[in-house]
């Protein structure tokens, strides 16, 4: 089992219980995303956690495949789908980085609060690009912990993070700016159609990008 899978397995129950930190920001990007999806769409969500967003969007699309590296997160998500009687979301355990090269393509690929946890973001974006149909969308939200809009306390957290991580209480986190995020997404071959920070500080970069 990867270190990320082990960490998120340990966190899964607590993550499922914890409230969404900024509900207005979450609802704004959820509704923007919903407005961009079509009833005929087949959607892939990466790093779906306990499945809340996939289950929210289920009624707006034909099918969602929602994946996460943590088997415990996926077990909770499957139970929620059963409880809510939602049958068009398929939850699977999969590492974003380990996705097969020539797997199925989707009308939209979603990655919310995931990319800052990935070691090699350009490589991950190349994998994601391969999973989006031509003309399809990549919709992401990523906390950007360097550059403008980042409060001083985040800079302090960056200093202590290696220690917290060493004792198993934090995941590996990448620090980069909003501008860097946009460059990575464009360099992967996407055209950015919409961008905003929700919330603004520290910025969680919401990007709607199209594969030409």
Ligand X SMILES: C[S@@+](CC[C@H](N)C(=O)[O-])C[C@H]1O[C@@H](n2cnc3c(N)ncnc32)[C@H](O)[C@@H]1O
Shortest Å, Cβ 35 to ligand X: 18
Please choose, from the candidates 175, 100, 190, 202, the residue with its C-alpha nearest in 3D space to the C-alpha of residue 140. 190
Q: Does 202 bind ligand X (CB under 6 A)?
A: no
Q: 4 vs 58, which CB is nearer to ligand X?
A: 4
DSSP classification of residue 62: S
Quote the least distance from Cβ 80 to ligand X, whole Å.
13
β-bridge pairing 204-210 and 42-46: unpaired
| Span of 36-44, 57-65, 95-103, 130-138 interacting with ligand X by CB under 6 A | 95-103
List 62, 79, 88, 113, residue binding ligand X (CB under 6 A):
113
SS3 46: strand
Toward ligand X, which CB reaches closer, 92 or 163? 92
The rounded distance, in Å, linking the Cα atoms of 163 and 161 is: 5
Contact segment (CB under 6 A) with ligand X among 56-64, 109-117, 160-168, 184-192 equals 109-117
33 or 70: whose CB is closer to ligand X?
70
8 binds ligand X (CB under 6 A): yes
Range 79-88, long-range pairs (CB < 8 A, 24+ positions): 80/50, 80/51, 80/52, 80/55, 81/51, 81/55, 84/55, 86/55, 86/58, 88/58, 88/61, 88/62, 88/63, 88/64
Q: Could you say which of 47, 136, 202, 203 contacts ligand X (CB under 6 A)? A: 47
Can residue 63 be called a binding residue for ligand X (CB under 6 A)? no
> Which residue has tokens 């060493």?
166
178 close to 199: Cβ distance less than 8 angstroms: no
How many residues make up the chain in this entry? Answer: 212
Pick from 66, 118, 144, 185: which binds ligand X (CB under 6 A)? 118
Write out the residues near ligand X by the rule CB under 6 A: 4, 8, 46-49, 68-70, 73, 95-97, 112-114, 117-118
């Amino acid at each position: 089992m990867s270190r990320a899978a082990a960490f998120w397995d340990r966190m899964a129950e607590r993550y499922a219980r914890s409230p969404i930190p900024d509900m207005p920001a979450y609802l704004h990007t959820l509704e923007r995303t919903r407005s961009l999806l079509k009833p005929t769409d087949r959607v892939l969500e990466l790093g779906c956690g306990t499945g809340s967003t996939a289950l929210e969007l289920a009624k707006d699309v034909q099918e969602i495949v929602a994946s996460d590296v943590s088997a415990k997160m996926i077990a909770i998500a499957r139970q929620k789908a059963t409880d809510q009687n939602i049958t068009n979301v398929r939850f699977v355990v999969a590492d974003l980085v380990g996705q097969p090269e020539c797997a199925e393509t989707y009308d939209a690929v979603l990655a919310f609060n995931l990319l800052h946890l990935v070691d090699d973001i350009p490589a991950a974006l190349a994998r994601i690009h391969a999973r989006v149909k031509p003309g399809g969308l990549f919709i992401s939200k990523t906390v950007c912990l360097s550059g403008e809009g980042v409060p001083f306390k985040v800079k302090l957290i960056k200093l202590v993070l290696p220690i917290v991580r060493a004792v198993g209480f934090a995941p590996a986190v990448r620090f980069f700016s909003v501008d860097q995020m946009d460059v990575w997404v464009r360099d992967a071959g996407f055209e950015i159609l919409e961008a905003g920070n929700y919330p603004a500080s520290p910025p969680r970069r919401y990007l709607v990008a199209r594969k030409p």
